Amino acid sequence: MNKTLYTCGLVLVMGVALISMPGCSKKSVQSGGDSQSAQGMAKGGSSDGSRSGVGSFPDTGVQSGGGGLRGLDKNPSEERVGSGTMLAKVDPSSSAGRQDEFRAEAGLLDVFFAYDSWTISEEERQSLNRNAEWIKSNPSTLVKVEGHCDERGTSAYNLVLGEKRAKAARNYLVELGVGAQRLSVVSYGKERPSCNEHAESCYQQNRRAHLVVKTGK
């Protein structure tokens, strides 16, 4: 059992590696940003068949109802009540987070957005112009564009909004001549705010595309 899972894990890790590598080159072909679904539509809208990037599923259907309740009894026999938990113990120290290979860079400016918006204003384009210059003059670096949102709105929709912001910034950098293969995007939605107050001054700082870098090969 353990061995099977271990093997599954290995296959998964390899699968992730395989997917993330061509993922970069795929992104370099696409430059349409939020209208990229045109490519998906050309495919006909559905892609049947099993594929990589999908892990193993256990059967999660409900086997029996009744909830383990036996009803009241005039002469009740003793029911042993279990440990009160179905939860495994997690050792918080066992899997400390991996360090992000990407780091903040003083030469790169955050790009800020209006409420609900992923449009890059004229003013913010100046920041991206400077970022493009920095990236071009540091050709050995790879850049990750993180999309962030303020705390208002739902967690789920803010992940989509954050991706739109990150892609808008990425696409503008590509327009300025930065090689798309050097740029990746990730959305953190409202889950990694830089500021935690419930105030517009703070919300402004959180609605941003934040650029981080690592040295490529």
Partner 1 sequence: MTQGKLISVWLGGVLLIAGLVGILESGAADVFLEATRPDFQKISLGVAGIQNGGGPDWLGGRIEEVLKKDVKRSLVFDLVDLPSLGIKTSDIGNGKGTGSKAVFKQAAEKGVSVLVWGKAGLKEAEKDADVNMEGFVYDSGSDEVVGGKRYAGSPSVVRLMAHRFADELVFRYTGEPGIARTKIAYVAEQGKARELFVMDYDGHDARQLTADGFLNLMPQWSPDRRFLVFTAYRNRNTQDIDMIELATGKRWTLISLGGLNITPALSPDGNFLAFASSHEGNSELYRLDTRTKALQRLTVNPSGDLSPSWSPNGRELVFVSDRGGGPQLFLMGSDGSNVRRLTFDGDYNAAPVWSPRGNWIAYVCRTQKEYKLCVISPDGQKRMQLTTGPGVDDSPSWSPDGRHLVFSSTADGKSHIYMIDADGKDIERLTFEGTHNSAPSWSPAS
Footprint on residues 53-82 left by partner 1 (CB under 8 A) = 53-63, 65-74, 76-82
Q: How near is the Cβ of 126 to partner 1 at its closest, in Å?
A: 27
Q: Provide, rounded to whole angstroms, the least separation between the CB of residue 179 and partner 1.
A: 18
Q: According to CB under 8 A, which residues from 86 to 115 bind partner 1? A: 86-98, 100, 102
HEC readout, 186-209: EEEECCCCCCCCCCHHHHHHHCEE
Could you give phi then psi for residue 19, rounded to 5 degrees? -75, -40
Tell me: does residue 217 bind partner 1 (CB under 8 A).
Answer: no
Q: What angle do CA 182, 16, 143 make, to 5 degrees?
A: 20
Among 7, 25, 28, 35, binds partner 1 (CB under 8 A): 35
Residues 126-145 close enough to bind partner 1 by CB under 8 A: 144
CA–CA gap between residue 81 and residue 104 (Å, rounded): 53
- Give φ, ψ of 152 to 5 degrees: -80, 145
Q: Name the minimum Å distance from CB 121 to partner 1.
A: 19
For 65, phi then psi, to 5°, come to -95, -160
Which residue, 133 or 191, is less far from partner 1 as judged by CB?
A: 191
